[in-house]
Amino acid sequence: MKRAMLSSLFRRVKKSKSPIKFKLKLNIASISTAKIIDRYNVDLAEIFVTDDGHYLVQDPPLKASEVSLIESVIEDLVFILPDDAVNDEHAFLNALKSIGISDGRLTYFIKREVLGYGVLEPVVKDQNIEDIILPSPNTPVSVNHADYGRLTTNIMFSEEELTKYIERIVHLCGKAVSLFNPMISLRLPDGTRFTATYKNEVSYKGSSLMMRKFPEKPWSITMMLCRRTINSLIAAWLMLLIEFKKAMLIVGGIGSGKTSMINALCNLIPEGKVIVTVEDTQELSLAHSNWIPLVVRDSLTLDGKGEIGMFELLKHALRMSADYIIVGEVRGEEGRIWAQAMLTGHGGITSLHSESPQAAIERLLIEPIRVDRGGLTALHAIMLMKKIPIVKDDKGKVFVRRALSLYDFEYDLVNDKLNFYKVAWYDSESDDFHFISPEDLVKLPTAKLIMEEAGWDEYKLLQELDMRERFLRKLAEEAVYHNELLDYKLITKLTWKFYENPQNFDIEHV
| Amino acid symbol at 505 | F
Q: Cβ contacts of residue 252 below 8 Å, gap of 6+?
A: 258, 351, 353, 354, 355, 384, 385, 386
Closest among 151, 161, 279 to 209, alpha carbons compared: 161
The alpha-carbon radius of gyration of the chain (Å, integer) is: 26
Q: Using an 8 Å Cβ cutoff, are 369 and 335 in contact?
A: yes
Residue-by-residue DSSP string for 101-145: ---HHHHHHHHHHHTS-GGGHHHHH-TTEEEEEE-STTS--EEEE
Q: Max CA-CA distance within the chain?
A: 81
Give pLDDT, residue 399: 94
Q: Using an 8 Å Cβ cutoff, are 411 and 419 in contact?
A: yes
Which residue segments constitute the domains of the chain, with CATH numbers given? 124-215 (3.30.450.380), 221-509 (3.40.50.300)
The C-alpha atoms of residue 173 and residue 3 are separated, in whole angstroms, by 9
DSSP one-letter code for 496: H
Residue range 442-455, pLDDT digits in tens:
999 999 999 999 99
Q: From edge to edge, which strands make up the β-sheet containing 432-435?
A: 291-295, 275-279, 324-327, 347-353, 247-252, 379-392, 396-412, 417-427, 432-435
Reported as type and span, the H/E element at residue 454 is helix 445-454
Closest among 272, 278, 468 to 262, alpha carbons compared: 278
Q: Cβ contacts of residue 305 below 8 Å, gap of 6+?
A: 299
Residue range 273-318, pLDDT digits in tens:
999 999 998 899 999 999 999 999 877 665 667 789 999 999 999 9
Q: What value, to the nearest 5°, has the Cα angle with vertex 287 and ends 286 and 288?
A: 95
The C-alpha atoms of residue 20 and residue 303 are separated, in whole angstroms, by 34
Closest among 378, 272, 286 to 323, alpha carbons compared: 272
Give pLDDT, residue 308: 92
Roughly how many angstroms between the first and final C-alpha of the chain, as a whole number?
41
Residues of the chain with pLDDT under 50: 1-17
Residue-by-residue DSSP string for 300-332: SSTT-TT-B-HHHHHHHHHTTT-SEEEES---S
The C-alpha atoms of residue 224 and residue 237 are separated, in whole angstroms, by 15
Q: Cβ contacts of residue 226 below 8 Å, gap of 6+?
A: 476, 479, 480, 486
DSSP one-letter code for 444: S
Closest among 33, 501, 302 to 509, alpha carbons compared: 501
Bridge partners (DSSP) listed for residue 373:
none
Torsion sign (Cα): 342, 254, 310, 280: negative
SS3 of 177-239: CCCCCCEEEEECCCCCEEEEECCCCCCCCCCEEEEECCCCCCCCHHHHHHCCCCCHHHHHHHH
The C-alpha atoms of residue 403 and residue 400 are separated, in whole angstroms, by 10
Bridge partners (DSSP) listed for residue 384:
251, 405
Closest among 19, 120, 23 to 78, alpha carbons compared: 19
| Amino acid symbol at 460 | K
Helix-, strand-, coil-residue percentages of the chain, each rounded to 5: 40, 25, 35
Give pLDDT, residue 6: 45
Q: Using an 8 Å Cβ cutoff, are 324 and 290 in contact?
A: no
Give pLDDT, residue 15: 47
